[in-house]
Amino acid sequence: MGVGGGEMAAAAAVVEEEGKEEEEEEGEEGGWGWRARSKQPPALDQDTFADYTARTSFERPLLSGVAYAQRVMHADREAFERQQGWIIKTMKHEPSPPQDEYAPVIYSQETVSYIEGLDMMSGEEDRENILRSRATGKAVLTRPFRLMSNHLGVVLTFPVYLVDLPPDAKVEDRVAATAGYLGGAFDVESLVENLLRQLAGNQELVVNVYDVTNHSNPLVMYGSEVPLGAPSPSHTCMLDFGDPFRNHHMICRYRSEP
């Protein structure tokens, strides 16, 4: 079951498609960096992002919403805040204390507009994901954690670079070329609950989702802690959220008679 790869490919298409049409006449550099920097007025703004992501959300039915966070160095913070007209806040909604760098959300799909203006590096799981995505150039997934929606879920992060990098680019070159981060959340708790609500006789079904990246320490992503080797007949299937370094599976069974 491929729930992830296509999801983010579709999210990444937000970046790609913006670049495509004018790539021929404007030169080599692809992606969104050159466009965001070279257009006056900028080609991308919150309304364009919200409109495009809303129109393409059917491509990412499992993501609760996508957003773009910009990489801002501390030296550039004041100018950034003046230009935006707001102050970078932490994920606890407090003004951000000084940091080496920040990742404030500047564009968001309306479904996750509550993360607008927040420094996504102020949350441990989001921060680790941001650092890993820009160091590898790949889409990366967090471990399960409580999202700002207050539901258990995971976040998929995709780095955006200012220039095209070769696949074997050094980590420090990747970091230096980083423009920002495109990402979205899988709100697994509400996904499974909505699914179960639609199933006839949902009272009889028990669903558990685990992050089994470390097989000896499965992390609960949905459902209560129950032994993995279930006694009653069950069906197990793998889930693919788009990060090949993380493994997940889902176990479905009928609730055994008391």
**Interface residues toward ligand WA2, by CB under 6 A:** 67, 69, 105, 112, 115, 120, 123, 126, 129-130, 147-148, 155, 157, 181, 183, 185
Closer residue to ligand WA2 in complex, CB, 178/208: 178
To the nearest whole angstrom, how small is the minimum distance from the Cβ of residue 136 to ligand WA2?
13
Closer residue to ligand WA2 in complex, CB, 119/251: 119
Query: What distance in Å separates the CA atoms of residue 14 and residue 17, rounded to the nearest whole number?
Result: 6
To the nearest whole angstrom, how small is the minimum distance from the Cβ of residue 159 to ligand WA2?
9
To the nearest whole angstrom, how small is the minimum distance from the Cβ of residue 92 to ligand WA2?
12
To the nearest whole angstrom, how small is the minimum distance from the Cβ of residue 54 to ligand WA2?
16
User: Tokens 């995971």, residue?
Assistant: 154
Which pair of structure tokens corresponds to residue 106? 């500047």
Phi, psi of 35 (to 5 degrees): -70, -45
Which pair of structure tokens corresponds to residue 118? 């927040």
Closer residue to ligand WA2 in complex, CB, 157/178: 157
Report which of 138, 144, 124, 140 is spatially closest to residue 217, judged by C-alpha positions.
144
Closer residue to ligand WA2 in complex, CB, 19/184: 184
Inter-residue contact 45 to 84 (CB < 8 Å)? no
Closer residue to ligand WA2 in complex, CB, 126/243: 126
**Please, which residues bridge with residue 104 across strands?**
119
**Beta strands in 187-245, from DSSP E residues, in sequence order:** 205-211, 219-222, 234-239
To the nearest whole angstrom, how small is the minimum distance from the Cβ of residue 147 to ligand WA2?
4
